[in-house]
Amino acid sequence: MPQSLPLNFSQKAKTLDALIHMCWLHIGDGPVNLEKAFEFLNIGLDGGPQVSGFHGAALISRDEDISNYKVLINKAESTAMQRKTQGHELAHLINHVTTKNRACFSYEGQCYSSEEFEADCISAYLLVPIGNLLYAARESWTGVQLAAALDVPLELVNLRFRIALELDELNSQR
């Protein structure tokens, strides 16, 4: 039985919708340019250590000034993986700063807590537009095809599909 959506995700989705709207993230058909959200929120985005197994990190500052927050991405990984990590680390910064209050590192084999799952859900929500998901469903695309079109790992497409089912978006937008 797959893990169900994080608590209050439908509430969080409304905040994410506002960000998507303000940054025009879901305009166009191709991969979502999440860098627009980083610019809008004034969060730095940089290359991190290019070591195997390291995905990225969300760095906060002690003064809690968001303009001093920074996300590091391992640019040796595939662009699809880099994009997922961008969304994941951004999720930590906009959602978990108060609970974590420390830097968050993402790496292979890390303990998969509920916050990590939520960060992946947020990444999926930002990087897989509902419009693309519905289009892919209508055209009988495979998940692999949609993942390739959006340049994201397949797991994000699968996660976004589950979110759509749980939020009942597939019925309401048809």
Residue type, 18: A
Candidates 39-47, 49-57, 118-126, 165-173: pick the segment binding Zn ion (CB under 5 A). Answer: 118-126
Classify burial at 20, counting beta carbons within 10 Å of its beta carbon; exposed 0-12, middle 13-18, buried 19 or more: buried
Pairwise CA distance, residues 13 & 158, whole Å:
17
Between 119 and 147, whose beta carbon lies closer to Zn ion?
119
Between 90 and 146, whose beta carbon lies closer to Zn ion?
90
- Please report whether residue 106 would count as binding Zn ion according to CB under 5 A: yes
**Minimal distance in Å, beta carbon 61 to Zn ion?**
18
**Minimal distance in Å, beta carbon 116 to Zn ion?**
5
Q: Which tokens sit at 42?
A: 């004034």
- Please report whether residue 74 would count as binding Zn ion according to CB under 5 A: no
- Please report whether residue 95 would count as binding Zn ion according to CB under 5 A: no
- Please report whether residue 123 would count as binding Zn ion according to CB under 5 A: no
Candidates 2-10, 112-120, 130-138, 164-172: pick the segment binding Zn ion (CB under 5 A). Answer: 112-120
- Please report whether residue 85 would count as binding Zn ion according to CB under 5 A: no
Question: Strand 70-73 and strand 54-59: pairing?
Answer: antiparallel
Q: Which tokens sit at 12?
A: 């969080």
What's the order of all strands across the beta sheet hosting 54-59?
Answer: 44-47, 70-73, 54-59, 104-107
Q: In the complex, which residues of this chain contact Zn ion (CB under 5 A)?
A: 106, 116, 119
